[in-house]
Amino acid sequence: MPETPWPQVAIVDYGMGNLFSVKHACEAVGLKAALVSSAQDIFSAVGVILPGVGAFGDAMEALARLDLVSVLLDIAASEKPLVGICLGMQLLMTGSHEFGWHRGLGIIEGEVVRLEPPVSCGGTRLKVPQVGWNRIYEISNGSWKDSFLEGLKDGEFMYFVHSFYVKPGDSSLLLSTTRFGDIEFCSSLRRGNVFACQFHPERSGLHGLCIYRNLAARIAQSTAEAHHA
């Protein structure tokens, strides 16, 4: 069997992310993963994960400083899986309103907006940021088939930590929504080879690992197709 390229998965290290938890989740499903911060290492991988925790503007400055913006755009335009997690999902958008307006990668048309407090649920005020478990709901029956959410049940619990959420310009990209009080927001989306989620699958137990298994299956298929090309 041909040797698998190293790394299979490049976890983009730009100083803002839950990197080791993501790496451990990859390894738990048999994926070779490495924390990388060079464009060459990112482009050589079969799949790329863009995690992130922190402020949108700081994250974009870090990506620009490391000269990683163009390679992420190249990955998005290729057939390689690109996965954005939490802030990584938000960075894929046109821009964010966090602490003013900041331009994003522009891979997905749309904006990032705040979970405006107070948010009420039955008259109870909920705290922002949302921290903890919440459900993800399928957009329509069967919409998760052949996606990174395949194998999960409608209404599955995932772990969230965020004060902002994405509003894609094209609603057909949505894979799941989540309700926080009286706000319903996009909790995951897909466009071609790009998958992004607001929740943290690496912190969501066995259900979160299902997403990494689907990534592993996608990478195995990409690797096999490359070897037969």
Greatest CA separation for the chain: 60
Please provide residue 114's backbone torsions phi and psi, each rounded to the nearest 5 degrees. -85, 145
Catalytic residue among 98, 202, 207, 210: 202
210 is catalytic: no
The residue type of 133 is W
Determine the Cα–Cα distance for residues 74 and 193; give it in Å rounded to an integer.
12
Determine the Cα–Cα distance for residues 144 and 140; give it in Å rounded to an integer.
8
Catalytic residue among 26, 156, 186, 200: 200
Catalytic residue among 26, 86, 186, 197: 86
200 is catalytic: yes
Determine the Cα–Cα distance for residues 55 and 50; give it in Å rounded to an integer.
14
Determine the Cα–Cα distance for residues 139 and 27; give it in Å rounded to an integer.
30
* Host H or E run for residue 64: helix 56-65
156 is catalytic: no
Indicate which residues carry an active-site annotation.
86, 200, 202
